[in-house]
Amino acid sequence: MMEPIGNPDSIPLESLESVSPRAFELSFQNVSYCVKHKHDRTHSAILKNLSGSFRSGRLVGIMGPSGAGKSTLLNVLSGFKKSNVTGQLMVDGQRLSERRSRKIISYTQQEVCLWPALTVEESLRYAAEFKLSPTIDQHQKRARVRELLHVLGLTGCADTLAGSVSGGQAKRLSIGLELLSDPKVMLLDEPTSGLDTVAAYQVLAHVKQLAARGRVIVCVIHQPNSQQLLLIDDLYVLAKGRRIYSGPTGEMVTQFARFGLDCPVSHNPADYALEVASLDQEDDRLKRLMMEEEKDIFDYNPPRLMVEKSVDGSYQRYALSTLQQLRVLLRRTTSCTMRETYQFKARILINIAIAIITSVAFYNTGNNADRILANTAVLIINLYAIFFTSIVSAVLVYPRESACFVLESKNNWYSLRAYYLAKIVVELPTLILSSSVFFLIVYYFTAQPFEWLRIGTFALVCLMFGWISQMLGLLLGSLLSVQNSVFVSILIMVPASLFSGFFVPLRDASVLVRPLLYVSFVRYAFEGAVHAIYGFDRPDLDCPEVFCYFRQLKRFLQFVSMPDLAYGYDLLALAGWIVLLMGAVYLSLRRRIKQD
């Protein structure tokens, strides 16, 4: 059941205010956006030469039938969509730079992106930490969070996990997260969807108050009822990517009537606007209406009211320094990891289960010269277990997490650098713990030599290999959907395993396969593991039979084409892969922030 929403009239808005009440105007001119269809290489125009201006202090509603281009327009104005976009975005007639537009414009998308392991209140608190100046003390930050909880009607579910709240509550929470930073321009994509009419009215009323205090607030709104419509100062109506009305709400019906589109007295003007926007594009009245709107667009001359600086004030993008961002990110990620223990526990349990099965199958093979090939298989199984548990947990979780990161980063919560550092710091202990559990069990029960040098060198190879797998998982998770990442990880691992040097040793490899062996990170990990166990002048193995060819380990190392002194090179190659993949993850996240 929807809980009662706080009365916006009673909200002490002053404390949420910091913007200058000086008026400004956000305008856009000749904005077009087209998409390229990959299958037939044709283009479709989604937004067609749109212009308009939104004044501070007014609540603007963007309306239009489904598919008219409302969300696309917000994506373009927010800078979330950049490619194939033409046109200009201006504040007070001055072009906005990308950096400045990010600073002053916040965008709340239709899909909410929340951290499911944090409670509603914690989500707002972390947002306050990221977005409010560090000079504001904790007491004030908490007071703001409480105000917002009240404003958005979330007090009753303040302690509920964000992953468990209703759709409407999640929507309100995501608006609250952006409201905290007090942006000068707020673009809200369907802020009332998922709310009942009373709650929708109250949210709009609140948003209107925020606008009245000197902001531009633009909401995509589907079908406002007549009461909600009274709250909207200006309407911008779209039909198939073209503007059919832009101006005060109260004048829309008169404008339509001038073109023979008379709104019946009993009709809600918003419903009628949708009817008009849904008319056949060949309808003569609609054509004339559009021509009239577009005539205005071409005559449009943005007024030069004030310089841009009066709106922007400061160009600092983030409220916190990188170090401060890192600290908050670490706290948040640690809280989430400690609560979302299912994935971690599953990873540890799977490692233990595979370790026990492997130990039973290869019990005591470690010092037996007759079973040296079986023992070598233990080493490769060890690597596969680390690979699959690391990569699968990354690809399952990361697409969702990276989507939240992209949204928060685009809305200036923190920098990629801080996020990336925090991610690495948090991932490492998980990796060390889960990999160690596996290799210690297997190492002990398969009777590998109990020498610190060998344990250390073997552990180092396992960890470096685990880190490569983890980075590969993050890379796939940041580029692809969960489904595709799983398929692609299998596609990578099968050939990488084939060319590990175990199934096809270097000496038997054909000219075609040889280059693959040189680049396969599995081969370097396998080779490093073999050296850790059998290298470093290990004495001869036990031989339970009359004769064991591989009793002398030099013979075995020659047989598997592994020169004795190669451990250092193996580490170097693994380190190279780590650097490469870490760079690739960083670039892929950067690309995602920059792309649409």
Ligand X SMILES: Nc1ncnc2c1ncn2[C@@H]1O[C@H](COP(=O)(O)OP(=O)(O)OP(=O)(O)O)[C@@H](O)[C@H]1O
| Nearest-approach distance from CB 82 to ligand X, in angstroms | 13
Question: Are 210 and 13 spatial neighbours (Cβ–Cβ below 8 Å)?
Answer: yes
Query: Is 71 or 359 the residue whose CB approaches ligand X more closely?
Result: 71
Q: Please name the amino acid found at residue 334.
A: T
Report the C-alpha gap between 61 and 189 in whole angstroms. 10
Report the C-alpha gap between 467 and 238 in whole angstroms. 50
72 binds ligand X (CB under 6 A): yes
- Contact with ligand X (CB under 6 A) among 4, 12, 21, 67: 67
| Nearest-approach distance from CB 59 to ligand X, in angstroms | 19
- Contact with ligand X (CB under 6 A) among 5, 16, 50, 68: 68
70 binds ligand X (CB under 6 A): yes
Report the C-alpha gap between 204 and 198 in whole angstroms. 10
| Nearest-approach distance from CB 219 to ligand X, in angstroms | 12
| Nearest-approach distance from CB 247 to ligand X, in angstroms | 20
Work out whether strand 216-220 and strand 185-189 pair parallel, antiparallel, or are unpaired.
parallel
Query: Is 241 or 302 the residue whose CB approaches ligand X more closely?
Result: 241
- Contact with ligand X (CB under 6 A) among 52, 61, 64, 79: 64
Query: Is 72 or 368 the residue whose CB approaches ligand X more closely?
Result: 72
Residue-level length of the chain: 596
Binding-site size, ligand X (CB under 6 A): 10
Residue 19 half-sphere exposure, CB side, CA atoms within 13 Å?
Answer: 30
| Nearest-approach distance from CB 235 to ligand X, in angstroms | 14
User: Could you say which residues in the range 20-59 bind ligand X, by CB under 6 A?
Assistant: 35, 46
Query: Is 59 or 237 the residue whose CB approaches ligand X more closely?
Result: 237
User: Could you say which residues in the range 115-144 bind ligand X, by CB under 6 A?
Assistant: none
Report the C-alpha gap between 77 and 71 in whole angstroms. 10
| Nearest-approach distance from CB 282 to ligand X, in angstroms | 19
Query: Is 162 or 238 the residue whose CB approaches ligand X more closely?
Result: 238
Report the C-alpha gap between 397 and 477 in whole angstroms. 8
66 binds ligand X (CB under 6 A): yes
Piece in contact with ligand X (CB under 6 A), picked from 63-71, 87-95, 124-132, 357-365: 63-71
| Nearest-approach distance from CB 596 to ligand X, in angstroms | 8
Please, which contacts does 262-269 make with residues 24 or more away whose CB atoms are closer than 8 Å? 268/225, 268/226, 268/229, 269/226, 269/229
191 binds ligand X (CB under 6 A): no
Q: How far is CA 590 from CA 193, 364, 408, 586, 596, in A?
A: 31, 49, 13, 6, 12
Query: Is 109 or 202 the residue whose CB approaches ligand X more closely?
Result: 109
Give the orientation angle of helix 452-479 with respect to helix 482-498, to 10 degrees: 140
Query: Is 72 or 497 the residue whose CB approaches ligand X more closely?
Result: 72
Strand partners for 86: 32
Query: Is 170 or 530 the residue whose CB approaches ligand X more closely?
Result: 170
| Nearest-approach distance from CB 110 to ligand X, in angstroms | 7
Q: Is 26 exposed, middle or buried (0-12, 13-18, 19+ CB in 10 A)?
A: buried
Report the C-alpha gap between 236 and 59 in whole angstroms. 11
Residue ranges that bind ligand X, judged by CB under 6 A: 35, 46, 64, 66-72
